[in-house]
Structure 1
Amino acid sequence: MTSKVRTRIAPSPTGFLHLGTARTALYSWAYARHHGGDFVLRIEDTDVARSTQDSVDQILQSMHWLGLDYDEGPIYQMQRLARYQEVIDGMLAAGTAYRCYTTPEELDAMREQQKARGEKTGYDGRWRPEPGKVLPPVPEGVKPVIRFKNPREGTVSWDDLVKGEIVIANKEFDDLIIQRADGVPTYNFAVVVDDWDMKITHVFRGDEHINNTPWQINIYIALGAALPQFGHLPVILGDDGLKLSKRRGAVAVSNYEEGGYLPEAMLNYLARLGWSHGDDELFSREQLVGWFDGTHLNKSPAQWDAAKLSWVNAQYIKQADDGRLATQVAAQLRSRGIEAVDDSSLAGMCALFKDRCATTVELADWLSMYFVPVAPSADDLASHVTEAVKPALIALRERLTTVAWDKAAIQQAIKDTITEHKLKMPQVAIPLRVLVCGRAQTPSIDAVLSLFNRHVVLDRLRTL
């Protein structure tokens, strides 16, 4: 690299941090970290009517949860209006931008006439100054917009980091509005000024921006600014084959935080959703940074796979520190109105059950039996808690009243009961699970019982 790499992510605070934006942020962050560069967070809040502080807070929280630390920011566009005006004034003076007094009604009529003639719709350039052209008289009471004087000849081309060379003819683009009548800049103008001022060298973004890129490149050229390198990432498709949408399924990063996913698992899964490093499926943040050099990015849309994400998360839960899991499970239980002490006993419960769980929500589902009454199903009671085994269960309850409360002693009490009543382990262990745990399948029953308070086990066995 001839200059320091600087990347950015620039979400709009009109809603949550979308999974697609999160993936773009991850790639931008990893690329900057790989090259020892800077990662900038910019909040594009010029859509004043729809931007909210709640959305800003949610975006910042999601970035923090994912561990995507930024070197500069958050930088807010609405705090840079004076800078945008300065650049606009310079472009007006240079003749690369002009005032347009066409009203919305005139624009609508213009498009209808173009449609009627079978032409491509767009601004017809009636206020575009040209040598020898006489412009209409300036109408009274109409605040102008500012348009960029886009070149009408030639082509725009760039070597895309993902898609390779892209060439588009300038005639495909009309004169873009770069400042609205209220003085607020539009996206395509503000993003160029921001990236120019912030010395952004590499721009990763969704491929829905490809059609914006020629306008932006031409604005860079008009300003005499150095171009960044662009990389346009394919969309993420839902499991229905359509583009991920908030109308279909969970597409907010915060949904997955609340749903019991670990941030390192989400980061791992998002990274693989459009990029690969050989056949590596699971890797650390440090490995990602070491490998992510901007190559091996897929040109085709990625398919969201909820089952694959759950598998990835399950692998990380198995490896996770039990104390950390206990903290998260305690929060999950509190959200259900269950106050669980976040101590070593909860960590021990997590250690016993985490291999069975894909999320901390599932882990909380399992562990809730330690803190709230269980309700075994009628079918389980009828199938397993039979008259034939009830005497053994009553005898076991008596033994459990006095034994040392640890796994080995509980195991011995169960074995002694089985021997005394001439039964097999499943004949006692399964009904014991049903009565105490509310379900017929658990890890080793002696280990499960040892984590209960003794009086809870005895109380549940008294229902016989």
Structure 2
Amino acid sequence: DGTPTYNFVVAIDDALMGVTEVIRGDDHLSNTPKQMVVYEALGFTLPRFYHVPMIHNQQGKKLSKRDGATDVMAYKEMGYLPEALLNFLVRLGWSHGDQEIFSFEEMCDLFDPRDINKSASIYNTEKLDWLNAHYIKNSSNATLATLLEPYGITLVSHDKKEILLDALKDRAKTLKEMARMVDDIISTPKTYDDKAVKKAFKGDAKAILEDFTMKLQVRDEMHLPSDYHEAMEELVNEKDIGFGKIGQPLRVALLGKLSGPGLDTVMAVIGKEESIRRIEQAITGIDT
């Protein structure tokens, strides 16, 4: 009905809550003088007002939901750490020299609303991914094991947790992506990528895998990645072949595709018996 209730009640609400700083988007700039009149008329102490330029997408237009303006909890579901999201948000429209990485303590100590940029900031998902990858890489394995549980990954009591997470820390941009990588390793492949099979299973690939299986069977102590690398190296030298001859078909047998971490790491994580089982499954299940 045209009654100016917003500017009236928001000023009273903030005053009664003891708000001393108001930081908001510059789309509220026109409301500030009106609210200041209310403060002064009612004898309230004026807070300090700061106006942050709007966040734009990479095309320089106002951010919309499809650009990333979504519920905060959605970022958790997407696999972003709280530290990364805070770091990302604090750098939208504010800077401290050339520093990009800020701990929570540094944010509290260094942030000054008087240093807020005058121009609009750009929402850049690549920057958020980069920050998130940094915090994942620098998280302890115990912390990561706990953070992965909501994504269906249970590693807390896994005896090769350290080897597995150390191998994936540098590869994952989000927890969701890391969870998928973990599952690719600890779960036996149900299918094999067609292009990978055509590329890897040529010539005597199956015979080479059979020979490698025999090498694994006669070895007693197989715990570390170096133990499996030694077995691969021994076979390569005996048969006078390149690592690709064993590496490509072995990768497909273990993971169902040609991408992933080091094969010695994969085998160390899943163990000798599971490695042999997956190789034998591929030998009998893949048509060449």
TM-score, normalisation: structure 1: 0.57
Structure 1 counterpart of 2:210, from 394, 405, 411: 394
- 2:163–2:265 Cα contact (<8 Å) kept: no
Structure 2 partner of 1:188: 7
The one-letter code sitting in structure 2 at the alignment partner of 1:307 is: E
CA–CA distance in structure 2, aligned partners of residues 385 and 250 of structure 1: 46
Is the aligned partner of 1:346 residue 2:179?
no
CA–CA distance in structure 1, aligned partners of residues 91 and 155 of structure 2: 37
- 2:88–2:131 Cα contact (<8 Å) kept: yes
- CA deviation vs aligned residue, 1:112-153 (integer Å, no higher than 9, x gap): xxxxxxxxxxx6xxxxxxxxxxxxxxxxxxxxxxxxxxxxxx
CA–CA distance in structure 2, aligned partners of residues 422 and 449 of structure 1: 23
Structure 2 counterpart of 1:312, from 120, 125, 131: 131
**Which of the two has higher C-alpha Rg?**
1
Structure 2 partner of 1:420: 238
CA–CA distance in structure 1, aligned partners of residues 274 and 59 of structure 2: 46
Query: Could you say what secondary structure the match of 1:230 adopts?
Result: strand
Q: State the 1:247 CA deviation.
A: 5.3
Structure 1 counterpart of 2:88, from 269, 280, 285: 269
- CA deviation vs aligned residue, 1:205-264 (integer Å, no higher than 9, x gap): 111111211221111121121111100111111234222223554522112111111111
Structure 1 partner of 2:62: 243
The one-letter code sitting in structure 2 at the alignment partner of 1:237 is: H
Structure 1 counterpart of 2:51, from 228, 232, 235: 232
CA–CA distance in structure 2, aligned partners of residues 377 and 327 of structure 1: 31
CA–CA distance in structure 2, aligned partners of residues 416 and 278 of structure 1: 53
- CA deviation vs aligned residue, 1:256-289 (integer Å, no higher than 9, x gap): 1111111111111111110000000112111122
- CA deviation vs aligned residue, 1:323-370 (integer Å, no higher than 9, x gap): 1112222321x2xxxx63432533431111110111111111111123
CA–CA distance in structure 2, aligned partners of residues 444 and 371 of structure 1: 14
CA–CA distance in structure 1, aligned partners of residues 270 and 132 of structure 2: 27
- 1:325–1:347 Cα contact (<8 Å) kept: no
The one-letter code sitting in structure 1 at the alignment partner of 2:141 is: D
Structure 2 counterpart of 1:258, from 56, 61, 77: 77
Q: Return closer, same or farther for 1:243/1:290 CA change in 2, 3 Å cut-off.
A: same
RMSD: 1.9
Is the aligned partner of 1:369 residue 2:184?
yes
Structure 2 counterpart of 1:213, from 24, 27, 32: 32
Structure 1 counterpart of 2:222, from 386, 389, 405: 405
Query: Could you say what secondary structure the match of 2:270 adopts?
Result: coil
- 1:220–1:227 Cα contact (<8 Å) kept: yes
**Across the two proteins, how many residue pairs are aligned to each other?**
278
CA–CA distance in structure 2, aligned partners of residues 237 and 349 of structure 1: 39
Structure 2 counterpart of 1:450, from 268, 284, 287: 268
Gaps of 5+ in 2: 284-288
- CA deviation vs aligned residue, 1:156-190 (integer Å, no higher than 9, x gap): xxxxxxxxxxxxxxxxxxxx533xxxxxxxx3222
> Which structure shows the higher strand fraction?
1
- 1:396–1:414 Cα contact (<8 Å) kept: yes
- 1:430–1:440 Cα contact (<8 Å) kept: yes
Describe how 1:86-101 pairs up with structure 2 within 5 A: none
Identity of aligned residues (%): 34
Query: Could you say what secondary structure the match of 2:170 adopts?
Result: helix
- CA deviation vs aligned residue, 1:439-464 (integer Å, no higher than 9, x gap): 22333221221001333222211121
Query: Could you say what secondary structure the match of 2:114 adopts?
Result: coil
- 1:244–1:251 Cα contact (<8 Å) kept: no
Structure 1 partner of 2:286: none
CA–CA distance in structure 2, aligned partners of residues 432 and 331 of structure 1: 31
- 1:262–1:313 Cα contact (<8 Å) kept: yes
CA–CA distance in structure 1, aligned partners of residues 129 and 66 of structure 2: 22
Query: Could you say what secondary structure the match of 1:204 adopts?
Result: strand
Structure 2 counterpart of 1:355, from 154, 166, 170: 170
Q: Return closer, same or farther for 1:399/1:247 CA change in 2, 3 Å cut-off.
A: closer
Is the aligned partner of 1:381 residue 2:208?
no
Q: Return closer, same or farther for 1:431/1:322 CA change in 2, 3 Å cut-off.
A: same
- Single out whichever of 320-329 and 227-236 deviates more from structure 2: 320-329
Query: Could you say what secondary structure the match of 1:205 adopts?
Result: strand
- 1:237–1:301 Cα contact (<8 Å) kept: yes
TM-score, normalisation: structure 2: 0.90
CA–CA distance in structure 1, aligned partners of residues 10 and 233 of structure 2: 72
